[in-house]
Amino acid sequence: MTKKIGFFKRLKSLSLEQKQLFAIALCQRMYPNYALFSEVCEFGNPQVLKTTLDLLWQKQYDKKLKFNLELYLERLDEVVPEPEDYDVYGVYPAIDAVVALTSLLSAIQSKIEDDITNISKISSSTVASYIEATCEQEFETETEIEDYVFAHPAMDEEREVQAMLLEVIETNPLNAEFIKGLRAEIIESGISNIGVAV
């Protein structure tokens, strides 16, 4: 969902560690979407996502850290809401947050790097769905909808955040100080990719 020249080419040319860090950061940004849904609808357990994210961040700078990916994949699977059980839009961004994290763990487990970079598309598609769901305009064609979504301020912000994230990861050494700082910055902002605050 970005027209920035060479964005995905640059993303794909990152090292495996850099790709993982980029994906973890995006999953962290999506976490408030799940936390809010869970609180409002009294479903699931945000702690499962939080613990998984905490371990993923730590693993980035503590290479000796071992955690059972299979176990966390099972735990995540248990906290995915069923969309037909809820009549609130928030169930969809909540599902996306779990899907992104599950996709990342599966990609790390299977060592498929393209699946790691796909987290970028999952985050963008959450934003696109949010824009469509909150839009009150009528459109005649699919192209009109796409143009509206692409030009929307929320999508602009998503592109900017992803571009900025890519740049800082490209230009900084992946040491504990940098990784902890990046994590703190995202958590302290407390704002998700669709503007949900926790």
Mean pLDDT of 39-55: 97
Task: Quote the percentage of the chain above a pLDDT of 70.
Answer: 97
Cβ neighbour number for residue 168 with a 10 Å cutoff: 15
Inform me whether the pLDDT recorded for 59 exceeds 80: yes
For the chain, percent of residues with pLDDT exceeding 90:
91
Q: In sequence order, which residues have a C-beta less than 8 Å from that of residue 164 and are 6 or more positions away?
A: none
The C-alpha atoms of residue 5 and residue 70 are separated, in whole angstroms, by 37
Q: How far apart are CA 185 and CA 189, in angstroms?
A: 6
- CB 41 within 8 Å of CB 82: no
Q: What is the pLDDT of residue 5?
A: 54
Superfamily designation of domain 7-184: YP_001051499.1 domain like (1.20.1590.10)
Confidence at 42, pLDDT banded by 50, 70, 90: very high
DSSP string, 38-96: HHHHT-S-HHHHHHHHHHHHHHHH-TT----HHHHHHHHHHTPPPGGG--STTHHHHHH
Determine how many CB atoms are found less than 10 A away from the CB of residue 16.
11
For residue 126, give both structure tokens.
């959450």
Helices (H) and strands (E) in the chain, counts: 10, 0
Global pTM reads 0.94
